[in-house]
Chain A
Amino acid sequence: MPLTAGRTTPSYGALLLRGLLAGLIAGLLAGVFAYSTGESRIDAAIAIEEAAAPAAEPAGDGHHDEELVSRDGQRAGLFLATALYGVAMGGLLATAYTLLRRRLRTDSDTRAALGLAGAALLGIVLVPFVKYPANPPAVGNPATINQRTIGYLSIVVIGLVAVWAGVLAARSPREGSPEWLRAVAAVAAFVIVVAIGYVLLPSIDEVPDTFPASLLWDFRIASLGTQATLWTALGLAFAALLGRIGTRDRAARERSDIVAA
């Protein structure tokens, strides 16, 4: 009895839907992590800002003075932010999966999904974080927001290019080259691109001398953990949902085999 469908072929829509759902799950989990590790640090930073406020510029200059949303509202808004961000990243991951799946050179869908999520974690979180680490409220200078945003987006692009360069380099040695040589080539290409980015982009350090170093450190770890939670959960959830397509289709095929037999 020949099997008609050798492989299951989900549509882009089916993959996208799973990416968006995985992103929602990952975003909410990242929100839980951010809430439990980051909120107390944000409160502490705001307290420092407010203690310094009367001496500094008059109200109306910084938008934090406007009180559009209460602190409780912002605590709830944290989950909205991470959920929507997760949905956006999940959809992008599913799109990348659709476009790149055939080039990933693995039979394992789980490895393909986790590999893409890992590449994103490296390229759009870790590389940018080392150059422009996260800052709590009360640290940034509003006058440089445009410059900081352009720098940040540039390093995100450079991080993705660096990962891509690493993959290309790993594949460039001749057929049959030892694995260590591929690994060395990949790391070298990645490091070179990242180093060029770090040197060319301006350094920005706006942390006031008086800001407590331990609070800054704790906030940055909370921020990094939030992104790490998001991408880890996104990769795992997307892989799990992909696995379910395969299982369901396989079950359907087995049923049709039984009917045919």
Chain B
Amino acid sequence: MPDIQAVRPLSTPAVSPRVLVTAAGVVVLLLLLAYLVAFDQGAISQSGMYLHELMHDGRHLLGVPCH
């Protein structure tokens, strides 16, 4: 018989040191991505102000500080 319980909660992976290290790396990359969209003024993108200007409406509407 299949179990009757309709929904089983997922358990998450145990937070092993390996998961922690991976998560730390992922967080750094994701924060870099958020920085590029929301705060970069040409320093990281290496394309002058192009990416900044391209995503300019988004920056203002996402509510991050801009010029």
On whether A135 and B60 interact (CB within 8 A), knowing A85-B34, A98-B23, A148-B65, the answer reads yes
For residue A115, CB closer than 8 A to chain B, the reply is no
Whether the pair A66, B60 counts as a contact (CB closer than 8 A) is no
Can you spell out 14 A-B residue pairs with CB atoms less than 8 angstroms apart?
A7-B8, A9-B10, A12-B22, A77-B57, A78-B58, A80-B54, A84-B55, A88-B34, A95-B27, A98-B15, A99-B15, A101-B11, A134-B60, A140-B66
Q: How far is the CA of A11 from the CA of B64 in the complex (A)?
A: 33
Given contacts A8-B10, A69-B56, A137-B56, 6 further A-B pairs with CB under 8 A are A10-B13, A69-B50, A74-B57, A108-B7, A145-B66, A152-B64
Q: What is the interface of chain A mostly: helix, strand, loop, or mixed?
A: helix
Best-buried of B1, B36, B50, B58 by chain A (most CB within 10 Å)? B58
* Residue tally, chain A, CB below 8 Å to B: 78
Q: Which residue of B12, B31, B39 contacts A149 across the interface (Cβ within 8 Å)? A: B39
For residue B44, CB closer than 8 A to chain A, the reply is no
Q: What is the interface of chain A, defined by CB distance below 8 A to chain B?
A: 1, 3, 6-12, 15-16, 31, 34, 38-39, 42, 62-64, 66, 68-69, 73-75, 77-82, 84-85, 87-89, 91-92, 95, 97-99, 101-102, 106-109, 125, 128-129, 132-137, 140, 142, 145, 148-149, 151-152, 219, 222-224, 226-227, 242, 245-246, 250, 253-254, 257-258
Band of interface residues on B? 35 or more
Question: Closest Cβ of chain A: how far from B7's Cβ, in Å?
Answer: 7
Note all chain B residues with C-beta closer than 8 A to A85: 34, 37-38, 58, 62
Q: What is the interface of chain B, defined by CB distance below 8 A to chain A?
A: 1-3, 7-13, 15, 19-20, 22-23, 26-27, 30-31, 33-34, 36-39, 41, 48-50, 52-67
Note all chain B residues with C-beta closer than 8 A to A6: 8
